[in-house]
């Protein structure tokens, strides 16, 4: 189960009159320029974009400008979202008849299979569809179930959820490798935690639909306790101290977003403790970030810049 917020990834595409690809990444302060024929040579520099060009079989010269509101390694799905934005830009330009499902699967292929960036496949679906979704992964089939959350529950969630940046970024690949190792080795605590997390996703969906917000917070806490069993790399003493501070100052529950190890901590607090919780988290060095839920998913548009 996931939801999207008003932190965006942008890809602007401008067609060139030659056969050059010019990529500008504003977040990494990187610029790469080369002929289209050489755009498939991976060298560790903007390889995700090159993987998109190869998978989409781009033959024409283009300028690409990339920017994300979320820092890399934040746990907010930045790389998957920028990949969906890339697919969306080329879909618009090349007039490709892709559905949201096809966009998400193509983004997964580009990021995970072609570029070799390790991770799951829910972030691509979240970015493509937008909103609150309960997503079922059944072998090779994915089913996205949009959730109709009442306006009252949405308003209360936006008020009582506190999102804070821990100040620590991480590479998710090592955490995922360690987590998968535990699963492959059939470590009892890892398998049990994964099974319980799957069951919790269903319970959390039901709590939201029924408007049981305090119960949702308690389930978040249980999910975080389970998540920590996936790998020893998911948390560290600084994160544990920050979460304990949150719990002592009004948080009913919470969890690190993404693979873990750093990035953003999300907490659901008691209705009268938001201001106290935010102050205490910032005293611990975290940065509280305001947000609102976003329901539109991928959007594309054209403008005449001449």
CB atoms within 10 A of CB 144: 17
Known catalytic residue: 203?
no
Q: How far apart are CA 90 and CA 103, in angstroms?
A: 11
* Annotated catalytic residue, options 63, 123, 177, 214: 123
Q: How far apart are CA 150 and CA 180, in angstroms?
A: 37
Q: How far apart are CA 206 and CA 1, in angstroms?
A: 11
Is the CB of residue 194 less than 8 Å from the CB of residue 230?
A: yes
DSSP output for 3-56: E-BS--EEEEEEE-SSSEEEEEETTTTEEEEEEGGGTT---SSSHHHHHHHHHT
**CB-based contacts of 278-281 (< 8 A; 24+ apart in sequence):** 278/162, 278/164, 280/245, 280/246, 280/248, 280/249, 281/162, 281/164, 281/242, 281/245, 281/246, 281/249
CA-atom Rg of the chain in angstroms: 20
Q: How far apart are CA 220 and CA 216, in angstroms?
A: 6
Three-state DSSP at 299 gives coil
Element (H, E) at 240: helix 237-248
Q: Are strands 30-35 and 20-25 parallel, antiparallel or unpaired?
A: antiparallel
**Phi, psi values for residue 230, rounded to 5°:** -65, -40
Active site residues: 123
């Amino acid at each position: 189960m996931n939801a999207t917020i008003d932190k965006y990834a942008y890809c602007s595409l401008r067609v060139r009159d030659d056969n050059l690809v010019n990529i500008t990444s504003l977040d990494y302060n990187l610029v790469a320029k080369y002929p289209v024929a050489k755009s498939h040579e991976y060298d560790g520099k903007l390889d995700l974009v090159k993987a998109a060009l190869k998978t989409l079989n781009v033959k024409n010269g283009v300028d690409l400008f990339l920017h994300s509101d979320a820092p890399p390694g934040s746990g907010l799905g930045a790389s998957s979202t920028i990949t969906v934005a890339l697919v969306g830009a080329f879909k618009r330009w090349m007039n490709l008849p892709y559905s949201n499902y096809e966009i998400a699967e193509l983004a997964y292929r580009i990021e995970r299979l072609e570029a070799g960036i390790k991770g799951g496949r829910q972030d691509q679906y979240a970015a493509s569809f937008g909103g609150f979704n309960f997503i079922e992964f059944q072998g090779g089939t994915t089913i996205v179930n949009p959730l109709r959350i009442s306006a009252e529950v949405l308003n209360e969630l936006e008020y009582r959820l506190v999102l804070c940046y821990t100040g620590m970024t991480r590479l998710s690949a090592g955490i995922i490798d360690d987590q998968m190792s535990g699963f492959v080795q059939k470590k009892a605590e890892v398998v049990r935690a994964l099974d319980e997390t799957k069951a919790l996703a269903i319970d959390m969906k039901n709590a939201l639909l029924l408007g049981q917000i305090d119960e949702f917070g308690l389930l978040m806490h249980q999910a975080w306790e389970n998540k920590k069993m996936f790998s020893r790399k998911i948390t560290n003493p600084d994160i544990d101290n920050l979460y304990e501070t949150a719990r002592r100052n009004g948080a009913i529950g919470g969890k690190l977003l993404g693979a873990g190890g750093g990035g953003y901590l999300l907490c659901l607090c008691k209705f009268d403790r938001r201001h106290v919780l935010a102050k205490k988290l910032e005293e611990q060095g975290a940065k509280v970030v305001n947000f609102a839920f976003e329901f539109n998913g991928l959007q594309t548009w054209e403008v005449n810049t001449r």
